[in-house]
Amino acid sequence: MELTPELRAQMTEIIGRYPNSRSALMPLLHLAQSIDDEVTPEAMETIAGVLGLTTAEVAAVATFYTMYKRKPVGKHHIGVCTNSLCALLGGDAVYDAVAERLGAGHNETDVDGTFWLERIECQAACTHAPVMTVDWEFMDNQTPSSAVDIIDRLARGEVVQSTRGPVIRDFQATEHTLAFPVDGLAGEGGEADAIMLAGLTYAREHGMSAPAAPGGDA
């Protein structure tokens, strides 16, 4: 990741959001991935220099969080949730089907380096289990066949719409959004559906409400 004037300006913009420049470390790592398709040692050195940190401090964060990769991801990141609820509802079968289709295992790419497969512990989307993500965009209520179909369509270059977000772009584009969240895409995708609102709907229908907070404050 060469520190060009354009890149320095982008990094300065991100750092300017925070009272403490160190807080910009994680979005800067996403910025690095949007450029290099991974977090390289050179990128960590660059980020460390700009933030006034040691390379070891940057590496400690880059190696702790699984969203930061130390090898090129390729065009698309595929995440299949296999945590408790997703697994019970078929997440393991979805993962196995996708792994067979790609010829790849956990944290591996397919033969031509187009797709990166990751077994995810939780996607925080249990209402629509089993869930798969493509470049961190949700693909809800998957089956082994529907998940493989998504891979096939992406491989053919077809337009694929996420379940509740924008059209799938690619991994590096999503990483840029994680560095610069105001990307004009917040309004794309559907609103909360009946499944997401089931608990609230039931509570309203039965006159239920949360208890008052201690001291009488709402």
Tell me if 29 is assigned to some domain: yes
pLDDT in tens, 173-211: 999 999 999 888 888 877 778 888 888 899 999 999 988
Predicted TM-score (pTM) of the model is 0.89
Residue 215 predicted with pLDDT over 80: no
In this structure, is residue 50 part of a structural domain? yes
Residue 56 shares a structural domain with residue 93: no
pLDDT digits (tens, 9 = 90+) for 114-160: 999 999 999 999 999 999 999 999 999 999 999 999 999 999 999 99
CATH number at residue 121: 3.40.30.10
Q: Which domain holds residue 21?
A: 5-64
**DSSP secondary structure string, the chain?**
----HHHHHHHHHHHTT-SSGGGGHHHHHHHHHHHHSS--HHHHHHHHHHHT--HHHHHHHHHHSTTS-SS---SEEEEEE-SHHHHHTTHHHHHHHHHHHHT--TTEE-TTS-EEEEEES--S-GGG-S-EEETTEEE-S--HHHHHHHHHHHHTT---B-SSS-B---HHHHHHHHHS--SS-TT-S----TTTTHHHHHHHHTT--PPPPGGG--
CATH of the domain at 33: 1.10.10.1590
Q: What is the pLDDT of residue 217?
A: 58
Total of domains in the chain: 2
Q: What is the pLDDT of residues 89-112, one digit of tens each?
A: 999 999 999 999 999 999 999 999
Q: What is the mean pLDDT of the chain?
A: 94
